[in-house]
Structure 1
Amino acid sequence: MEKRWLAHYPPEIPHTLEYPAKTLPDSLRETAEQFGDGVAIDFLGKTITFRELWKRVQAFARSLQALGVKKGDRVAIMLPNCPQAVISYYGALLAGGIVVQTNPLYTEHELEYQLNDSGASVLVTLDLLYPKAEALRGKTPVKHWVVTRMQDYLPTVKKWLYPLVQRKQKMPSVQIEENDAVHWFRSLVGQNEGAPLPVAIDPQEDIALLQYTGGTTGRPKAAMLTHRNLIANTLMCAHWVYKCEKGKETVLGVLPFFHVYGMTTIMNLSVMMASKMVLLPRFDVKQTLKTIERTRPTMFPGAPTMYIALLNDPDLPKYDLSSINVCISGSAPLPVEVQEQFERATGGKLIEGYGLTEASPVTHGNFVWDGERVKGSIGVPWPDTEAKIISLETGEEVPPGEIGELVVRGPQVMKGYWNQPEETAQVLRDGWLYTGDIGYMDERGYFYIVDRKKDIIIASGYNIYPREVEEALYQHPKVQEAAVIGVPDPYRGETVKAFVVFKAGETCSEQELDAFMRARLAAYKVPRLYEFRSELPKTAVGKILRRTLVEEEKKKLDKSSERSVK
């Protein structure tokens, strides 16, 4: 396999790296020793230094051990971005546990499945989320619930005002009594001073994280990511942004840490580079703009929908975003129009990267500074990462320009899926990770994603890639967001349907959109159906959920069939 992309690497980025045999907590300890007085976390104005963070991580690890947590035990964390999320993550790992990241938006049913599948014995969560967890008592392996309050790490004035905010926003008042099974987070961090009992961890083999992702059978499955997987990917990221200086950067942490993208590119990277993490518990446009102006972040990893929302806020010109030097966009395709507009608004660089949960998650990226950036491309493989495009029919590598499935391998690729050997065998073959994404590599070694294999629309025998249609829609000046899916068609087999959200105060007819699209796409790719909406379904990181739209269309079709039968 010819690694054409290596010819484009700037001299500052090595083709291969050295990966120290250390754990994620080792990374935090080293930073605390070298940059102890540096600010590790800024949470709505409350700051914590690296020395303080390491002290609290050690105390939490020791407390977990006192609760019976041993090497390999699973500790579930169901928290938004807040200091407690960082302390719990590194504390669980330092105690020898395996972290299970859990989405706070999960329903009881989803939470029950994940806790049972992972076998988690401890759950760390917010007081507002505790009733959901408590309802599952006796239905999961959880023996200990660790509960924290959002105000526990707020600045003094905001801590006093928090009860008023709760009443104004009509947040439920939750009464929780501490007992042998329910523990307050502040108590655990405030006791058991000193280092926890040492645990022998093999970074190469021992699992650090069970990160859940969608399954081919519809059941979520957990990628087993080792300490080395995560350390390797974080080191790759640090080398990719080589102009960022250790101990001098400020990173905006609005991507959720319970998603592997935010975990690696914000939390783990900030710890490794001794950067200040500015944490926001959720993405809110106005709060994000105010936070950027207050804290002056230099790095802003995000998702396309976040950048789109900021660009379309009418008050954007009132805020100074010039501190932002680099943004890495992931989790979904980055429309070229959005990239160009955001770079004009900030003066910084916005590059598109690519990855997946099973790869910790990043495998590709465009160059930020000295290397060439290719618009519409996911860039080139990161150091020590190999990639190729294989034929969907034969499985053999195809020549440049030909479309096939992207497969990758490297030190960031997972060990496999937790307790799912059949699913593992489907995606891991001879060390290669089969991504399920359809794309191609050009003559120079730059890669492009056309779409997900399962999202391809086949209309009248033609393959239509939703991403290409969405890119054309995003070029329309009135379109804010767009998603394209295939829906059943009695004549074509499938036909193209577009869901569109317009910018505030804008509207457009189907006829106008049709004329716009026909000027940019072959006739068979142009949507035959449009649906205008005020918003589109998204994941916690802002990725538009095409599958939710597909399921909605299927339900409509089923109901229509029932009526016709009657």
Structure 2
Amino acid sequence: MIPIGGDADPLAAFPAVTLTEAVLGTPAADPGRAAVVDAPTGRALTHAGLAREVAAAAAALAAEGVRRGSAVGVHLPDGPEFAVAVHAVTAAGAVPLPLRVTAPPAELARLLRAGGAEALVTWPALRRSARDAAETAGIARLLTTADLAPPHAPTGDSPAGPAPARDVSRSGPPSEGGAARPEAPGVDAVAVLGCTRGTAGPARVVPLTHAEMVAGLVRVADSGMVGRDDTVLPALPLSGLLGLNGALNPALRLGATVVAGPGGGRHDLLRALQDRAVTVALLPPRLVETLAYDRVVPRYELGALRSVVAAGGPLRAETARACAARLGCAVRQAYGLTEAAGLTHLNVRGAEEGALDSVGRGLPGVAWRVVDAATGKEQAAYQPGELCVRLLATGTARPGSVRWSATGDAAFRDDHGRAYILGRLGEGRPEPPAEPETVLAVHPAVRDAVVAPAPDPELGLVPYAFVVLSESAAAGDLLDYVNDHVPPYKGVVAVRVVDEIPRTEDGEVRRRALLARAGLPG
């Protein structure tokens, strides 16, 4: 059977250019439009400013002795400086290894060793932990963004307008004395060292060529997920390939704006979506659930959103439908992995086809299949198995040199050729989120429980839990217990102990009588 996606050379449809050429060498961008914006502060670099900063930082890396082809760890929070550093390393002919800033020093050191890094670029405030990791990994060259910055830091462009940007897309920066550096690396050279998500063991370092990275970003850029006029917010870390090559690089190629570093809290996300007038949001499923169900969402003005894309795990159709109805925008699912240099699937027509829980048929150049994990035999439609993706040939001189990667994700396909992700292999489809009443009812100290809205002077009606005890228990302990076992959007604000939960003959809760028993206004 021919794998879904066909058996043609997966690189044939993509330009044979380097990563820097693909991202910074296109004429699509308005030079004065913001390229990357820091979500909390609003600090921004225009597209012209980004090219200028990349050129200056690439020259600084060369002056610091960073060798062509050497690996450089990039240990920076999401923001303009991250984009500058990653592309400066590439423009200098070296290979960036993006690293999570939340990783402990021991894990940083392990990944730096695994990637063979010879230098590390970090944020000044992170210098101490980065220094510990660098010393453990045997790296003597530790740089901060201050070492790479031109005389002005990337905090925006001058009112007089951006200075002309030197083209860094087709060659590295000049070496000392003005002599040109060697030509940019070939498309078969390693462009980026990506780190796997580490869900089935320690994160691994995966080398990805320029050809693979370009194919990964171009298939997203050409998918229609993002347009030139969009403002894109990826809540997936840019240090991961889904954020880097599934959002940042395609958006920069198209001339769009990327809002980076929205923070981990729901209010941080909602404030960034509102204040930055985000039009496309790439979110993990848990944040799509927040948009669909959290009671604070209506307080924010999110009318600019035209599309929400869920990636990083399965999303239920009912959640996608609830989010779309609440926000009045399209909700789509996407799928990708580090080894494939970003996104491989995007369900562009999920709503029209009634398949909101599918990740779609696969982006151009992607072939995939679902196999029995034990035998490797391809599964029939609707039969679950392990999703395998054909990885791109690493050399255009060897167009037949392809391999299949077992993703470790359980999936099935329907008879229309769409893929459905079930979760990690062996976990099956996630169970529906637990209800607070159910969680409380199984507590050994609780005989009966119900959740009902109660008035709050500041928030209006909020969910309270009311319990009848079978043995002594503190209301505060029960509150912690229930909120630890339900998603945040299903949490309750208080637990009240009552002697009885009044119900009608049909079993309906008599809310006013219940509130009276709990001493609350009705």
Q: Answer yes or no: same fold by TM over 0.5.
A: yes
Give distance in 1, aligned partners of 2:319 and 2:487.
19
The equivalent position to 1:143 in structure 2, one of 103, 123, 140, is 140
Structure 1 residues 293, 241: closer, same or farther in 2, change over 3 A? same
> How far 1:50 sits from its partner (Å)?
1.0
Task: Map Cα deviations across residues 94-126 of structure 1 (whole Å, 9 max, x no partner).
Answer: 111111111111112111111222121221112
Residues 1:72 and 2:69 aligned together: yes
**1:297/1:324 contact within 8 Å kept:** yes
Give distance in 2, aligned partners of 1:46 and 1:192.
31
Partner of 1:345: 326
Task: Map Cα deviations across residues 440-488 of structure 1 (whole Å, 9 max, x no partner).
Answer: 21212122223322x34xxxxxxxx2x24x2x336x58899xxxxxxxx
The equivalent position to 2:310 in structure 1, one of 329, 332, 341, is 329
* Corresponding letter in the other structure for 1:54: A
Residues 1:473 and 2:433 aligned together: yes
**2:307/2:331 contact within 8 Å kept:** yes
Report 1:511-526 matches (<5 A).
none
Residues 1:206 and 2:182 aligned together: no
Structure 1 residues 200, 238: closer, same or farther in 2, change over 3 A? closer
Partner of 1:534: 484
Task: Map Cα deviations across residues 45-77 of structure 1 (whole Å, 9 max, x no partner).
Answer: 233211111011011111111111122211111
Structure 1 residues 370, 273: closer, same or farther in 2, change over 3 A? farther
Give distance in 2, aligned partners of 1:327 and 1:17.
30
Partner of 1:451: 423
| SS of 1:355 mapped into structure 2 | strand
Give distance in 2, aligned partners of 1:535 and 1:124.
40
**2:45/2:154 contact within 8 Å kept:** no
> How far 1:26 sits from its partner (Å)?
0.9
Give distance in 2, aligned partners of 1:337 and 1:57.
43
Report 1:110-509 matches (<5 A).
110-136=107-133, 138-148=135-145, 153-154=154-155, 197-203=181-187, 205-213=188-196, 218-241=201-224, 244-246=226-228, 248-280=229-261, 282-368=263-349, 372-411=353-392, 431-453=403-425, 455-456=426-427, 465=428, 467-468=429-430, 470=431, 472-473=432-433, 476=435, 505=463
Give distance in 1, aligned partners of 2:437 and 2:178.
58
**1:384/1:410 contact within 8 Å kept:** no
> How far 1:214 sits from its partner (Å)?
5.5
Give distance in 2, aligned partners of 1:216 and 1:284.
22
Partner of 1:11: none
Partner of 1:177: none
Partner of 2:470: none
Partner of 1:101: 98
Structure 1 residues 478, 309: closer, same or farther in 2, change over 3 A? farther
The equivalent position to 1:56 in structure 2, one of 41, 53, 56, is 53
Partner of 1:26: 21
> How far 1:366 sits from its partner (Å)?
1.2
**1:58/1:194 contact within 8 Å kept:** no
Structure 1 residues 250, 193: closer, same or farther in 2, change over 3 A? farther
Give distance in 1, aligned partners of 2:293 and 2:394.
38
Give distance in 1, aligned partners of 2:203 and 2:372.
27
Task: Map Cα deviations across residues 358-383 of structure 1 (whole Å, 9 max, x no partner).
Answer: 11122222124796251322221111
| SS of 1:121 mapped into structure 2 | strand
Partner of 2:84: 87
* Corresponding letter in the other structure for 2:80: P
| SS of 1:58 mapped into structure 2 | helix
| SS of 1:70 mapped into structure 2 | coil
**1:224/1:414 contact within 8 Å kept:** no
| Percent of aligned pairs with the same amino acid | 25
**2:120/2:139 contact within 8 Å kept:** yes
Structure 1 residues 534, 192: closer, same or farther in 2, change over 3 A? farther
> How far 1:323 sits from its partner (Å)?
1.1
- Structure 2 unaligned spans of 5+: 158-172, 396-400, 440-452, 454-461, 468-480, 489-522
Partner of 1:42: 37
Give distance in 2, aligned partners of 1:196 and 1:330.
42
**1:304/1:334 contact within 8 Å kept:** yes
- Structure 1 unaligned spans of 5+: 7-14, 157-188, 416-428, 457-464, 481-502, 510-530, 539-566
* Corresponding letter in the other structure for 2:111: Q
**2:283/2:309 contact within 8 Å kept:** yes
Give distance in 1, aligned partners of 2:463 and 2:111.
42
> How far 1:22 sits from its partner (Å)?
1.0
> How far 1:257 sits from its partner (Å)?
0.6
Give distance in 2, aligned partners of 1:118 and 1:368.
39
> How far 1:355 sits from its partner (Å)?
1.6
Task: Map Cα deviations across residues 479-518 of structure 1 (whole Å, 9 max, x no partner).
Answer: 99xxxxxxxxxxxxxxxxxxxxxx9846599xxxxxxxxx
Task: Map Cα deviations across residues 363-407 of structure 1 (whole Å, 9 max, x no partner).
Answer: 222124796251322221111211112223432223222222221
* Corresponding letter in the other structure for 1:28: V
**1:389/1:398 contact within 8 Å kept:** yes
Partner of 1:186: none
Structure 1 residues 47, 31: closer, same or farther in 2, change over 3 A? farther
Structure 1 residues 508, 272: closer, same or farther in 2, change over 3 A? farther
Give distance in 1, aligned partners of 2:107 and 2:132.
13
| SS of 1:224 mapped into structure 2 | strand
Structure 1 residues 71, 4: closer, same or farther in 2, change over 3 A? closer
Task: Map Cα deviations across residues 110-157 of structure 1 (whole Å, 9 max, x no partner).
Answer: 11111222121221112221111223454323222222479954579x
* Corresponding letter in the other structure for 1:19: F
> How far 1:349 sits from its partner (Å)?
0.9
Structure 1 residues 214, 52: closer, same or farther in 2, change over 3 A? closer
Partner of 1:499: none
TM-score normalised by structure 2 residue count: 0.72
Structure 1 residues 508, 442: closer, same or farther in 2, change over 3 A? farther
* Corresponding letter in the other structure for 2:184: A
Structure 1 residues 285, 437: closer, same or farther in 2, change over 3 A? closer
Structure 1 residues 224, 535: closer, same or farther in 2, change over 3 A? farther
Task: Map Cα deviations across residues 511-552 of structure 1 (whole Å, 9 max, x no partner).
Answer: xxxxxxxxxxxxxxxxxxxx85538999xxxxxxxxxxxxxx
> How far 1:88 sits from its partner (Å)?
0.2
Give distance in 1, aligned partners of 2:121 and 2:319.
37
TM-score normalised by structure 1 residue count: 0.67
Give distance in 2, aligned partners of 1:194 and 1:300.
43
Give distance in 2, aligned partners of 1:211 and 1:325.
30
**1:299/1:327 contact within 8 Å kept:** yes
Give distance in 2, aligned partners of 1:218 and 1:237.
28
Higher-Rg member (1/2): 2
